[in-house]
Amino acid sequence: MSPGSVTVRIDGASRGNPGPAGIGAVVEFGDGRPPMELCAYIGETTNNVAEYRALLLALEEAGRHASGDALTVYSDSELLVRQITGRYKVKAEHLRPLYLEACRRLRAFPAARILHVGREENRKADLLANLAIDQHRG
């Protein structure tokens, strides 16, 4: 990872679809700062909404702490990645505002890319998303 780069791993979880949902993200900085671990309970919603909300939270934090840098986002949501990269259209109207906001935030980075990874490569973000649900249910 180069000094000016930021790597983000995101995940959303919903127990039931819709159901209690949480989001998780890990933001890693190329300059050696410790990674930020983010998680939040977001109420009752679908898994796809949770995935987008995780992306928005991560982009907000990355932009706040490292705007102007190169950004790589990893997600295990094939739908989200393919919608953001333009391979899939956003057909669900309730996802459109989330999609548009994510695209706007991604444009703040001069070099931004989003890549699909398997669940095994996204364990920490998944753990954080589920932790948010568990802590809320406490």
pLDDT digit string (tens) for the chain, length 138 residues: 677 789 999 999 999 999 999 999 999 998 889 999 999 999 999 999 999 999 999 999 998 887 567 999 999 999 999 999 999 999 999 999 999 999 999 998 989 999 999 999 999 999 999 999 999 986
Amino acid making up residue 115: L
Q: Which tokens sit at 24? A: 């998780």
pTM of the model: 0.95
Ordered domains of the chain (ranges, CATH):
5-133 (3.30.420.10)
Amino acid making up residue 67: S
